[in-house]
């Protein structure tokens, strides 16, 4: 009897230690991750962008996100909205005589809902497939304050919507308060400012949600809906905030361990596309700054990703990684991607 009891107690103790060890392991290995998805997460070059098309592409993206969620990462997914908001905006222009057109900030809000919907269903389906249907996926319509004195408002640079002839462009310039510029591809296009994100209004709730067990948060879509604060009031503005810069900001706000930017190149390069091109495995913040000043990263594509990485690492002391969609896990294990670190 005594022996059996002692053994039972011993077994209980052993079980307790194993449970404690396991809890400890989970606790130590939990990392907060901001995953910034690029355009190709939902639409590939040359694709039309039907809903079916975007759902199909989202399956691949969802697999990658679920792989990480099941490895115990706490995840906030951010994403671009270029093609989607572009199409929504075009629809407004094309039937403006029949349905009142929505301004760009409203189109941005619509695109957050649309992309949130596609990603949520794709991620939930992958979770169900992997036997993890007890997760919650939630999209936050995210508002971001920008400065109405941001120099970007004086120099609108982001082309959107239809291509116009010079004659049409001149007429529009007289009728509307738009800025139009000749496009390198021919014709004229409306251009809007790309101001810096100053404050993400929903950051506190995004932080609470990501702390919750088994919860994946989708936020800051398209860089967030830009608002200015003027005469004591918040007001939407027609602008496009860079999604990588907003991703860096939310990563700092939620005290993320890693900012993971997933795009369509596995690594960042020096002399990109030239015969002396060289892939970068790792760079310190000061090296990254030097490469920027030497002009290695194209504005509007790789430059904002490197700048976002620098801003996150400087503010948090942690690591940013730029790699290709499909390589996230390998990159987190240090086997690929370009890692931006302190120093
Ligand atoms: P996303 O849509 O994922 O945000 P972008 O298309 O804006 O991504 O930026 C990724 C692109 O940046 C790559 O496809 C590549 O063509 C371009 N690029 C510009 N400079 C570099 C560089 N130095 N190293 C790697 N890629 C670069
Ligand atoms: Mg792209």
- Dump the DSSP string for 167-181: HHHHHHHHHSS-EEE
**What integer is the mean pLDDT of 3-20?**
69
Cα 53 to middle of ligand 1, angstroms: 22
Mutate which of 46, 61, 265, 303 for ligand 1 pocket (most atoms within 8 A of beta carbon):
265
d(CA 201, CA 341) in angstroms, rounded, equals: 28
305 is catalytic: yes
Q: What is the pLDDT of residues 149-207, one digit of tens each?
A: 999 999 998 888 788 999 999 999 998 888 999 988 889 988 999 999 999 999 999 99
| Minimum mean pLDDT range among 6-10, 96-100, 114-118 | 6-10
Question: Where in 249-333 does DSSP place strands (E)?
Answer: 258-263, 268-270, 278-280, 282-284, 319-324
The size of the chain, in residues, is 343
What pLDDT is stored for residue 120 in this prediction?
98
Among protein residues, the one with the nearest Cα to ligand 1's atom 14 is 264
Quickly state the pLDDT bin for 337 (edges 50, 70, 90): very high
Assess whether pLDDT exceeds 70 at residue 310.
yes
Single out the catalytic residue among 74, 108, 116, 158: 158
Assess whether pLDDT exceeds 90 at residue 8.
no
What pLDDT is stored for residue 29 in this prediction?
64
Among protein residues, the one with the nearest Cα to ligand 1's atom 10 is 301
Residues with Cβ within 8 Å of residue 263, at least 6 apart in sequence? 38, 40, 305, 322, 323, 324, 325
What pLDDT is stored for residue 16 in this prediction?
72
What pLDDT is stored for residue 55 in this prediction?
96
| Minimum mean pLDDT range among 23-32, 110-119, 138-147, 239-248 | 23-32
39 is catalytic: yes
d(CA 172, CA 238) in angstroms, rounded, equals: 16
Assess whether pLDDT exceeds 70 at residue 304.
yes
d(CA 262, CA 308) in angstroms, rounded, equals: 13
What pLDDT is stored for residue 330 in this prediction?
97
d(CA 210, CA 254) in angstroms, rounded, equals: 8
Nearest Cα residue to 92 out of 177, 183, 160 = 160
Phi, psi of 248 (to 5 degrees): -65, -40
Quickly state the pLDDT bin for 2 (edges 50, 70, 90): low
Neighbours of 14 (CB within 10 A): 10
129 is catalytic: no
243 is catalytic: yes
d(CA 32, CA 30) in angstroms, rounded, equals: 7
% of residues, the chain, pLDDT over 70:
94
What pLDDT is stored for residue 224 in this prediction?
98
Which residue is it, tokens 């997760």?
Answer: 135
Q: Supply the DSSP symbol for 42.
A: T
What pLDDT is stored for residue 238 in this prediction?
94
How, if at all, do strands 338-341 and 319-324 pair? antiparallel
Cα 269 to middle of ligand 2, angstroms: 16
Q: What is the pLDDT of residues 24-75, one digit of tens each?
A: 554 456 899 999 999 888 988 778 889 999 999 999 999 999 999 999 999 9
């Amino acid at each position: 009897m005594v022996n059996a009891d002692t053994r039972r107690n011993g077994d209980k103790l052993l079980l307790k230690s194993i449970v404690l060890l396991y809890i400890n392991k989970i606790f130590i290995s939990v990392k907060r991750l901001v995953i910034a998805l690029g355009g190709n997460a939902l639409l590939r070059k040359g694709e039309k962008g039907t809903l079916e098309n975007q759902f199909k592409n989202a399956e691949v993206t969802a697999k990658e996100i679920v792989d990480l969620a099941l490895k115990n990462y706490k995840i906030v997914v951010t994403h671009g909205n270029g093609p989607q908001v572009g199409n929504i905006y075009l629809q407004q222009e094309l039937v403006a005589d029949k349905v009142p057109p929505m301004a760009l900030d409203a189109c941005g809000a619509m695109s957050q809902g649309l992309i949130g919907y596609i990603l949520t269903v794709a991620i939930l389906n992958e979770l169900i497939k992997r036997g993890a249907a007890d997760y919650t996926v939630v999209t936050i319509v995210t508002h971001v304050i920008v400065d109405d004195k941001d120099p970007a408002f004086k120099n609108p640079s982001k082309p959107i919507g239809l291509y116009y002839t010079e004659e049409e462009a001149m007429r529009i310039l007289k009728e509307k308060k738009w800025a139009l510029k000749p496009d390198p591809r021919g014709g004229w296009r409306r251009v809007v400012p790309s101001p810096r994100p100053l404050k993400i209004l929903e950051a506190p709730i995004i932080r609470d949600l990501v702390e919750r067990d088994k919860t994946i948060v989708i936020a800051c879509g398209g860089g967030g809906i830009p608002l200015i604060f003027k005469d004591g009031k918040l007001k939407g503005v027609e602008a496009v905030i860079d999604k990588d810069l907003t991703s860096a900001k939310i990563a700092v706000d939620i005290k993320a361990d890693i900012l993971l930017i997933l795009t369509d190149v596995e690594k960042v390069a020096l002399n990109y596309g030239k015969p002396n091109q060289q892939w970068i495995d790792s760079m310190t913040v000061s090296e990254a700054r030097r490469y920027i000043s030497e002009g290695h990263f194209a504005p509007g594509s790789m430059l904002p990703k490197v700048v976002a990485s620098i801003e996150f690492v400087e503010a948090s002391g942690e690591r940013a990684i730029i790699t290709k969609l499909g390589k996230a896990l390998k990159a987190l294990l240090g086997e690929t991607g370009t890692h931006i670190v302190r120093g």
